[in-house]
Structure 1
Amino acid sequence: MSHVSSHSPHGQSPLRTVQVLGGGNAGSSAHVRSLTSGLVARGVKVTVCAPVEADRLYDFTGAGADHVHVPRSSDPGSVSALRAACSDADLVHAHGLHASFRAVLALSGRSTPLVVTWHDRAHAEGARAHLVRLLERRVVKAASVVLGATSALVDRARTTGARDARLAAVALPGARGAVRLEDPDRPRPKVRAELGATGRPLLMAVGSLDRHRGYDTLLDASRAWRALDPVPLVVIAGEGALRGELQRRIEDEELPVRLIGRRDDIAELLAAA
């Protein structure tokens, strides 16, 4: 297959894409940072619409993008700000269900293609679960393509009504997208020592500390591993509503688990495991 360049022919304006983020969680933010670097290198003009704190942490502008502050979904001005930012876009790429729904509203009445990436599933119960299903149907029917980070997400998009749903690779979470797998000033043994995993197996988990992420099962497993010699250490990187509850269980049951919060060196941590 021959290489297809994204550079515009002489005399034409470069292609412009708008990347839309909601709350700017680690996975989707790292993915957008990675996409931005690749697109800019190919001559595509990129605008990232996200809360200002996401640009502070992931430095989209440092990767070559224009950053437009779009408030979180609860802000009534978010859709109008997004509509203005997308006014001359050749393509809009939204990440996550709520960001995607706002993009659908912002593009109402326009023919701009919309690509949607689902990085994880939106979980809800009761009346809210019905609302989530309605949002999913509205989004997938409006999207030209739905990309899923897992085959389960792709299957869900298809059963919800997506005309084109595909599996897509996503970047590992890590601030500013510039983490190296092996920092010469911080080799693997040093990282393991910092985590307290010298001479014992290390298991890393990365993700927001929310329900439906499987942390209860992971802690159950860690309790069984206490009989092993040496005892494996489980390290969980991430923040979320469950942190206090998980920490209490770790302490009460004396589990070999550490919660280390949000980190910007995820690639190094994973390489050390």
Structure 2
Amino acid sequence: MTVCAPAELDHTHDFLGCGAHFVPVPPRGDPMAMGALRAVCGGADVVHAHGLNAAVRSAMALATQRVPLVVTWHSRPHAEGARGHLLRMMERKAVRAAAVVLATSSELVDRARRRGARDARLGPVTLPPPRGLADLPGEKARAELGAVGRPLVVTAAPLEPYRGHGALLDASRRWLGHDPVPLVAVAGDGSRRAALRRRIDTEGLPVRLLGPRHDVTALLAAADVAVLAGRWEARAPLAQEALRLGVPLVATAVGGVPELVGDAAELVAYGDSVRLAAAVSRLLTDPARRAALAAAGPRQAATWPTEEDTIAQVLSVYDELCDARGGHVL
């Protein structure tokens, strides 16, 4: 197997350590990138692209070659105006060039078909379970955050538009009447950090912006309630980790979230801060409901495909598209 990606990603994912042949590809915009992709793709039996940009670049590299393209579609970009039109054009180009589109939620399968995919299938991807769940330092995390003796609400998402942080801050204002007042811990960074910080300071909201964190699993393990407030999600990592940990989750009923969580979370409409606040308040004041969701989460997680299931599905697609002779897969 050959993996093509920007050089810095090998440091993150250790492709070489996993036994793959790694070919660094220049980032988007570099005039050398397309030539590098064409050179590698020309000798492949199948090319597998992950994400919209990789799919479009792979389709261009394969334009004059008879090599089947598989695309895994993980998420749906959000943009308005001219950029939104451009993204829709990219989606059409990517899915129409693909022999098979594997989409991570049923909504994305439908979207790929509307964009003209010849063959779009559900291909859910599940995060591997974190190791050492029983050893996560919940009380230590609560102490570091200043949440000893008060409820802790945790979310993790980039501080960008459409991630629902405005509604979460609106909800936190309603929790000022609780005794004790819950602390809302927000892991992540992004373009809206300064604006959110001004709101928190001006309104005296019980919210801490933690910045980028590598210990989100430990933060979730310490939480009384987890919140996922974004406008769209497919296989949201935060939802997966919360359910596996048995942490009660309040999430927006968008994209693939209802399909992912089933009855193991409280669902609210995107942007509805009143219902978001009420759902969290109910959980914080109803130990029986919290316990029911804590038990339902791991049961729901057990229904998700395993890594082995995902690998088997992908290999079966390759088998459909490849000759019996060997080759290397990108």
Give the one of 244, 255, 269 matched to 2:194: 244
Give the corresponding residue for 2:106.
151
Give the corresponding residue for 1:75.
30
Give the corresponding residue for 1:271.
221
Work out the CA distance in 2 between the residues paired with 1:250 and 1:168: 40
Work out the CA distance in 1 between the residues paired with 2:126 and 2:214: 13
Work out the CA distance in 2 between the residues paired with 1:78 and 1:264: 31
Matched, 1:253 2:227: no
Matched, 1:63 2:18: yes
The percentage of counterpart residues that share the same residue type is 57
CA pair 195-149 structure 1, distance change in 2 beyond 3 A = farther
Give the one of 101, 118, 123 matched to 2:56: 101
Unaligned runs of 5+ in 2: 224-330
Give the corresponding residue for 2:131.
180
Matched, 1:121 2:72: no
Give the corresponding residue for 1:23.
none
Work out the CA distance in 2 between the residues paired with 1:272 and 1:86: 46
**Pairwise CA distance, 1:134:** 0.8
Listed as ranges, the matches of 1:1-273 within 5 Å are: 45=1, 47-172=2-127, 179-182=130-133, 184=135, 186-273=136-223
CA pair 124-226 structure 1, distance change in 2 beyond 3 A = same
Q: Which sits farther off after the overlay, 106-115 or 196-205?
A: 196-205
What is the letter of the counterpart of residue 222 of structure 1? S
Secondary structure of the 2:86 match is helix
Contact 1:188–1:272 at 8 Å: present in 2 too? yes
Secondary structure of the 1:146 match is strand
Unaligned runs of 5+ in 1: 1-44
What is the letter of the counterpart of residue 237 of structure 1? A
Contact 2:186–2:207 at 8 Å: present in 1 too? yes
- The number of aligned residues is 223
**Pairwise CA distance, 1:179:** 4.9
CA pair 227-63 structure 1, distance change in 2 beyond 3 A = farther
CA pair 243-85 structure 1, distance change in 2 beyond 3 A = farther
Higher helix share: 2
| Residues 212-246 of structure 1: per-residue CA shift (max 9 Å, x gap) | 22222222222222222333333222232222222
Work out the CA distance in 1 between the residues paired with 2:192 and 2:25: 27
**Pairwise CA distance, 1:114:** 2.0
**Pairwise CA distance, 1:136:** 0.6
Q: Root-mean-square deviation (CA), in Å?
A: 2.6
What is the letter of the counterpart of residue 224 of structure 1? R
Larger Rg: 2
Contact 1:147–1:166 at 8 Å: present in 2 too? yes
- TM-score using structure 2 length: 0.60
**Pairwise CA distance, 1:138:** 0.7
- TM-score using structure 1 length: 0.71
What is the letter of the counterpart of residue 182 of structure 1? L
Contact 2:183–2:206 at 8 Å: present in 1 too? yes
